[in-house]
Amino acid sequence: MRAGLLRDIISIRSPASTSRSTDGAPIVTQSTVLLNAWAQVDNKAGTEIYRDRNRWDVEETDFFIRYTTVSITPTMTVRYDSADYDIKAIIDLDNRHRELQIITKKVS
């Protein structure tokens, strides 16, 4: 991986969770930043979905980062350019522990 291609900073975040207090009121725990990393951003495709009389914009984006020992799972999110992306898959390119491809989908 060429370092010059890593031009953007992304953050990998743990999922936000909701729990209940003793009186039953919801308590929302904010997501926690697990990793900040330099990344190469590759915008793949954008489509529109019409469901229940609503229009949803769906954007598919791949992020390429250096391999990390932080365990990244599909339950986490990527924050890039003040937008959140749901992780769909994590691929260790060439199985050499040098580069990760994070396949994401942003629905707005």
Q: Are 33 and 12 in contact (CB under 8 A)?
A: yes
What torsion, rounded to 10 degrees, do the Cα atoms 60, 72, 69, 44 define? 0
From the list 87, 81, 66, 62, the residue with the least C-alpha distance to 12 is 87
| List of E strands, the chain | 8-13, 17-20, 26-29, 33-51, 54-66, 77-80, 83-92, 99-107
- pTM value > 0.75: yes
Domains and CATH numbers, the chain: 3-17+26-107 (2.40.10.270)
| Tens digits of residue pLDDT in 11-40 | 999 987 888 888 888 887 778 899 999 999
Q: What is the average pLDDT across 75-90?
A: 93
